[in-house]
A and B are shown apart, each in its own frame.
Chain A
């Protein structure tokens, strides 16, 4: 808790920190990757597939930044195009059909801001995922692995339980972007990070996430501790969620997001 927000930003972006691939490998057995949105192409920034979690079939949706330079370029540094979000939606719908829980892993600086992405409807792709994830009748567990960048993260981030690794960040825009707007200087990102409320602890206080995953020394040094805690939390959440009827599940999910935000109503304030 004593660590500053900026030190968390640095940890979240540490090159030694594992990416989604490693989490998938260590958490699921017999994982099979499934490709393509059936509309345009396959987006390598989004890894989707099915596998076993503790002997139970689940659907996995994960943003992947890539490990070495070549792979990072191939995976567009984890910034999905609309086809990535559409692939995710296709496979989440498939999960619903076969009554499999969905586990999503967020790790993205944001949805890709480019010409093709705009031409193919980035805004609509994100919006539709937000709406459809509200309707899926299977449990959805969201894991924020390292970086949760804005709408591009949220588009696979609507869930019954949102778990966030201790040294990950989740924000409306990057501290650099925030600083360049607020202070007109992106070099003041450190200062911006401290006031933005982007750490797992902050978001837990704001009731935007449900659980902080303990990492021990940090995923960049020790992966085993964090993964073990993640496994425990997913098991706990799944056991809890599987007891609910579909109606309860959907209603709880709606109410959870319905309560988010902070505003005043004039009559009550006086």
Chain B
């Protein structure tokens, strides 16, 4: 037993010195405001206009910057096709948690939304779908009662209207400030997706940076097709918790999109600039099937 542990320790040391220590060379650069943006990852100066044209991805190192929910919708759906639903649903502080009211106010300011989930109907290359996006700017995209309700209503709407559902997740998990009520949203959203599933309808889950905790362990993992955006961190438990529990460092690349692909947990890893195209191709492949399904049911009635 001791030999085994010593052996593992040695391997871990070797791993740390040989692989982990390859630190990136970071040069400090003075970057004028307004015209250029500094890449958070490689520190290079990016021309702001080319940055936007490149879907907020660094042209130098391919680092994917965080997108707001509204920016995401703009990048993915047909121009002027988005129609927002359920924007009136908001959180309050049912358990009277300290600081929560304040966090909600800050979240609203940062995201310019009422809640962390932005949803509605839209078209992707003329294919109608129900679409929702979690916004990490609003309390780390955490799921409380309001987010759970909005996800559930969107899915129920799609079930009624026989629409495919696409959800972009970016979330730290269930929202701690609503305690057990947040936990129950995991069941509620999964239940709604079950009814959608039963109708033979398509759900595409897109996991973006980061998707963890109670969101990963509920609707985000229930896609017929699960896409991970390149560079996203995806997992159940957070890095800190795992480290504390197992008392050792984590392997390089742990819980990345590629890690999840290699372990069979996602169907595809897709670069941000190809997501719209990928969604369109997938929708089209399912559209025929849905067409036939509807025809059949018309004939039967």
Contact = CB atoms under 8 A, between A and B. Distances in A.
A267 interface: yes
B248 to A, nearest CB: 9
A237 interface: no
A242 B98 CA distance: 44
A131 B194 contact: yes
Interface string B209-248: 0001110111111100000000000111110011001100
Contacts of B32: none
A98 interface: no
A173 B176 contact: yes
B221 A261 contact: no
A11 B216 CA distance: 32
B161 interface: no
B246 A115 contact: yes
A114 B245 contact: yes
Contacts of A113: 236-238, 241-242, 245
A196 interface: yes
Nearest to A110: B237
Contact of B185 (A114, A171, A261): A261
Nearest to B207: A123
A124 B236 CA distance: 9
B238 to A, nearest CB: 8
Contacts of A254: 191, 195
Contacts of A195: 95-98
A1 interface: no
A27 B250 CA distance: 43
Contacts of B152: 258
Contact of B180 (A135, A171, A266): A171
Contacts of B179: 171-172, 196-198
A9 to B, nearest CB: 14
A73 interface: no
Given A198-B179, A262-B178, A263-B146, A123 B222 contact: no
A119 B260 CA distance: 7
B188 A265 contact: no
Interface string A78-97: 00000000000000000000
Nearest to B212: A123
Interface in A136-154: 150-151, 154
Contacts of A177: 241
A15 to B, nearest CB: 21
A184 B217 CA distance: 25
- Interface residue range, chain B: 35 or more
B176 A181 contact: yes
B114 A131 contact: no
B98 A154 contact: no
Contact of A117 (B180, B188, B236): B236
Contact of B184 (A118, A123, A260): A260
Interface string A116-133: 011111111011101100
Contacts of A208: 180-181, 184
Contacts of B187: 130, 134, 154, 158, 257, 260
Given A115-B250, A195-B98, A260-B184, A122 B191 contact: no
A118 to B, nearest CB: 5
A150 B237 contact: no
Interface stretch (B2-10, B36-44, B51-59, B85-93): B85-93
Interface in B177-210: 178-188, 190-195, 197-198
B120 interface: no
A122 B105 CA distance: 33
Nearest to B86: A265
B246 A118 contact: no
A134 B191 CA distance: 6
B192 to A, nearest CB: 8
Given A150-B183, A261-B148, 4 more contacts: A115-B246, A119-B263, A134-B191, A197-B179
Interface of B: 88-92, 94-99, 114, 144-146, 148-149, 152, 174, 176, 178-188, 190-195, 197-198, 212-214, 216-222, 234-238, 241-242, 245-246, 250-251, 254-255, 263-265
25 contacts: A115-B250, A118-B235, A122-B235, A122-B237, A124-B221, A126-B218, A127-B190, A130-B187, A151-B183, A151-B214, A154-B187, A158-B187, A171-B179, A172-B174, A172-B179, A172-B182, A177-B241, A181-B176, A208-B184, A257-B191, A262-B178, A263-B91, A263-B145, A263-B149, A266-B90
| The 3 nearest A-B residue pairs measured at CB | A261-B145, A113-B237, A262-B94
